[in-house]
A = this chain, B = another copy of it.
Amino acid sequence: MRNIRLLIQYDGTRYNGWQSQEHTEETIQGKLTRVLERMLGEEIDLQGSGRTDAGVHAAGQTANFRTKAAVSCEEILDYVNRYLPEDIAVLEAAEADPRFHSRLWSLRKTYIYRIWNSPIPNVFERKYLYQVKEPLCVERMRQAAALLEGTHDFRAFCANGRIKKSTVRTLEQIKVEQKGAELSLNFTGNGFLYHMVRILTGTLLEAGLGKRKPEEMTQILMSLNRNQAGPMAPARGLCLWKVEYEDSDI
């Protein structure tokens, strides 16, 4: 059996996320699987590096699948990009280590949350930005972000309150970048809990709007209580930017 890895981009606006339990819903995994199965004439089990929520985008989602088919990776790339809808594209298809698994082997992920901080809407990138009309204090957001970096129990920033498994994760970096009216929050870490990036963003936005002091971040972490954190920011601003592996893995 060959093991093929894919690098995938999608505009998540009209999808019900990467993966879904209900077979009637439109998902990115579902679209890709159907195109691959049509091409290869086999049942395909496409494993993504992780789920993305409904409406969340990906610039660098990864996935892998096993196949017996004798088609080249170039042929797979051509075929899927010809038949996928225009809001999903496969950037790379390559032969992988037979044991490679896009989720289990991933070392680190980066998500970017993009904010348009202006009363004037951004017409061209509106689907990839969350507009905040009131002025944000970037310095306060950076102070708050710095307190969230590191290895912590992020239970307060997890939408699933009843989770039994460990909610300890390492957030290596939260970089707050400003370019004109656009503010981007880059989150890099070894794993993310359900809705974690969006709740972190909603909380950092409260700090930027002056509704919270940056120092409160430490208390929120320690509370382990979802109600102490801020609201969940909308899906449209979030993008799974990249998934990293050890070079030798793939």
Contacts and interface: CB of A to CB of B under 8 A. Distances in A.
Interface of A: 9-11, 57, 59, 77-78, 81, 86-91, 119-124, 126, 128
Contact of A124 (B9, B77, B91, B122): B9
A59 B244 CA distance: 36
Contact of A128 (B11, B88, B124): B124
A123 B81 CA distance: 11
Contact of A120 (B10, B91, B120): B91
B11 A87 contact: no
A88 B123 contact: yes
A89 B86 CA distance: 25
Given A11-B126, A88-B123, A89-B123, 18 more contacts: A9-B123, A10-B123, A11-B123, A11-B124, A57-B124, A59-B124, A77-B119, A78-B119, A81-B119, A81-B121, A86-B121, A86-B123, A86-B126, A87-B126, A89-B121, A89-B122, A90-B120, A124-B128
Nearest to A9: B123
This chain: copies in complex: 2
> Which secondary structure characterizes the binding site on chain A?
mixed
26 contacts: A9-B123, A10-B123, A11-B123, A11-B124, A11-B126, A57-B124, A59-B124, A77-B119, A77-B120, A78-B119, A81-B119, A81-B120, A81-B121, A86-B121, A86-B123, A86-B126, A87-B123, A87-B126, A88-B123, A89-B120, A89-B121, A89-B122, A89-B123, A90-B120, A91-B120, A124-B128
A152 B166 CA distance: 72
Contacts of A91: 120
A11 B81 CA distance: 25
Contacts of A89: 120-123
A120 B7 CA distance: 12
A11 B123 CA distance: 6
Q: Which 10 residue pairs spanning A and B have beta carbons closest together? A: A89-B121, A9-B123, A89-B123, A11-B123, A86-B126, A91-B120, A89-B120, A87-B123, A10-B123, A81-B121
A198 B191 CA distance: 48
Contacts of A123: 9-11, 86-89
Residue of A10, A120, A126, A128 ringed by the most chain B CB atoms within 10 A = A120
